[in-house]
Structure 1
Amino acid sequence: MIRAYRPADLDALYDICLDTGNGGQGVRHLFDDPRLLGHAHIGPYVAFEPDLAFVAEDDDGVCGYAVAASDSEAFEDRCDRDWWPDLRFRYPLTPNANRVVQQIHHPVRVDPMLVRDYPAQMHANLLSRAKGRGFGGALVRTVLERLEKGVHVHVRHHNTHAIGFWEHMGFRVIDSADELVLGLRL
């Protein structure tokens, strides 16, 4: 079943983020604080745009999610103002800081040229048990129905399964620098 995100789902979404954080593979073993990755990649979406957050739920509980920001530049501005400062205090930037802490302190800004046609951004992840059951497509379509102009996603080059999924959903590669950026005009 696909349904709207509820605040009680937050821990499950953070866990899914950890258990799918490397191209569908878990990264739990890489983090001393299991909430760090979720704070960076889930928290601001459900805090600032909960109407664009949906979950997949099966008999065992929440097994996937899709979250989005309708205006990437405004979302990044709000994160700079209202989300990152607390996390920067909680996770200081040290010489050995991991990639996520570095991103919290120095977030990458969206390319202004990209957002002309693809202003929204989206993330979606499914646990292994949910794959191949139609949850991913249903989640993405549910979010797309609420967006207006265009949307983009970032995918690592080695994540061929995700690339295939997004292309199946109609997204096309629009940039291939550090990560692939796939976009869909609505």
Structure 2
Amino acid sequence: MNDAASAAGARLLIRQYQPADRDDIAEVCLRTAASGGDATGVYSDDRLMPEVFALPYLDYDPSLAFVVTNGHRVVGYVLGVADTRDFVDWWRREWAPGFAARHPHPGPPTASRPAFDETQLIEAGTRPERMLVAELDDYPAHLHIDLLPEAQGQGLGRRLIDVLRAALRGRGVPGVHLGIDPENTGARAFYERLGFVELPSSTEAAPLFGIATA
């Protein structure tokens, strides 16, 4: 699938992920990882956050990765998996061993106080079972979406999610879910405007939302 569309008033395009986009996606992930702000230098290794929330998705199923590009670099993306249970199994076999070797223990603390401390991030990278939410029968897919400031406020987030939902619908997947940073109130409002509903297993500390693909 290659759904390319230009944003009104800006030379931004949505297209399917290409392998050359990998480093840009890691950068976008990092620069939006502090409750939507830049997390560069927050952790002992700037690759830590992308290795939990972006790069494994590219390795597992790149066909469900879509990017926003300005013609030179990626400035946003949506990454998805159609079957979270299978993804967890793959992560345990294929991703967790290498992740654990690269990140055997937390690095020294930094001056910043992130929403995730480094110990929590390393645990997230080695324990994919965290993704097995109670509502997987109705919402078996899940996604991550991030946009740099230059790509925000132009309807691109909605369009990225629409592209992913269409791809999932074409595979017969009934619904998709996502988790949000509880401190990112703007993200909550955005998803609610799109029609996401808070799921029964959602908590104040770990908000969880889902939407049908149809």
Give the TM-score, by structure 2 length: 0.81
Measured against aligned partners, the alpha-carbon deviations of 1:49-77 in whole angstroms (never above 9, x if no partner) come to 11100000125521100000100010011
For 1:28 and 1:95, the matched residues in 2 are separated by: 15
Kept after mapping to 1: 8 A contact 2:64/2:79? yes
Give the aligned partner of residue 116 of structure 1. Answer: 137
Q: Which has the larger share of strand?
A: 1
Shift in Å, 1:95: 9.3
Moved over 6 A (4+): none
Give the aligned partner of residue 61 of structure 1. Answer: 73
* Structure 2 residue ranges without an equivalent (≥5): 1-12, 109-117
Kept after mapping to 1: 8 A contact 2:141/2:177? yes
2:207 partner amino acid: L
Kept after mapping to 2: 8 A contact 1:23/1:162? no
> For 1:132-171, what aligned pairs fall within 5 Å after superposition?
132-147=153-168, 148-171=173-196
For 1:123 and 1:69, the matched residues in 2 are separated by: 9
2:202 partner amino acid: S
Give the aligned partner of residue 19 of structure 1. Answer: 31
Give the aligned partner of residue 183 of structure 1. Answer: 210
Give the TM-score, by structure 1 length: 0.93
| Cα distance change on mapping 1:62 and 1:168 into 2, 3 Å | same
Mark the structure with the bigger radius of gyration.
2
